[in-house]
Amino acid sequence: PYYSQNLYTAFKLHTHDDEMKYVLKRILRMYHVSKQGQLDNLVDRCPTTEKSCYSQISLGYDRARVFLMGYLYLIKQNNQYYIKESYCNRYYGREDFGGKSGPAPQKIPDGRVINVEHTWPQSRFNGGFGKDYQKSDLHHLFPTDSQLNSIRGNKKFGEVSKDEMELKCGQSRFGISTLSHREVFEPPNDHKGRVARALFYFSVRYDIAIDPEEEK
């Protein structure tokens, strides 16, 4: 299993938040030596003779998009392919693309209809880490309606108290935060847990603090 003995030991010791983040950070960044039936062993570098040693790799953004759209979020029903979209919370099929460049295995559909959302926006990446790693990190990428993707932009996530515009689907909202006077984007209830986990992961993995209001 990926998480190694370090994490389970931290759980048993009731490790506090900052210490737990440090444990997770090491697990995410270090090399792992995998042994069948055992927890991974963390090492600074892969031994030259160890074939089961691995670490995070960068797919590259194009390959990441193909994997997301053409495999991970692609489903087939009644001989037709669909992509599970996150901001309107529905399936996008061939009819949504005008019959052209629609969902298909190992294909990227028309970006004017559906696109890949960086839950942690590129404008807030950590310059101390490779941009390509952050841009193509699958843990925070989701297929989203292109129009809603553009409306969200790099705005923080939050709960909306006052809508500033009516969106094309009622699952998401854009407007004034319940906690302040700034604009925020509120994703569908079904997607909020994924957003929270993606932000937490990205914050720990790439050493970027989550905005206190967004963290609430």
What SS3 class is residue 84? strand
Span 121-129, average pLDDT: 97
Span 162-167, average pLDDT: 96
What's the CA gap between 78 and 103, in Å, rounded? 14
* Phi, psi of 62, rounded to the nearest 5 degrees: -65, -45
115 in Cβ contact with 147 (< 8 Å): no
pLDDT value for 15 = 82
The encoded tokens of residue 60 equal 């590259």
Span 163-172, average pLDDT: 94
Strand order, beta sheet including 53-54: 41-43, 31-33, 53-54
pTM above 0.85, yes or no: yes
Going along the chain, which residue ranges are E strands? 31-33, 41-43, 53-54, 74-77, 80-84, 91-92, 114-118, 141-145, 160-163, 173-177, 183-186
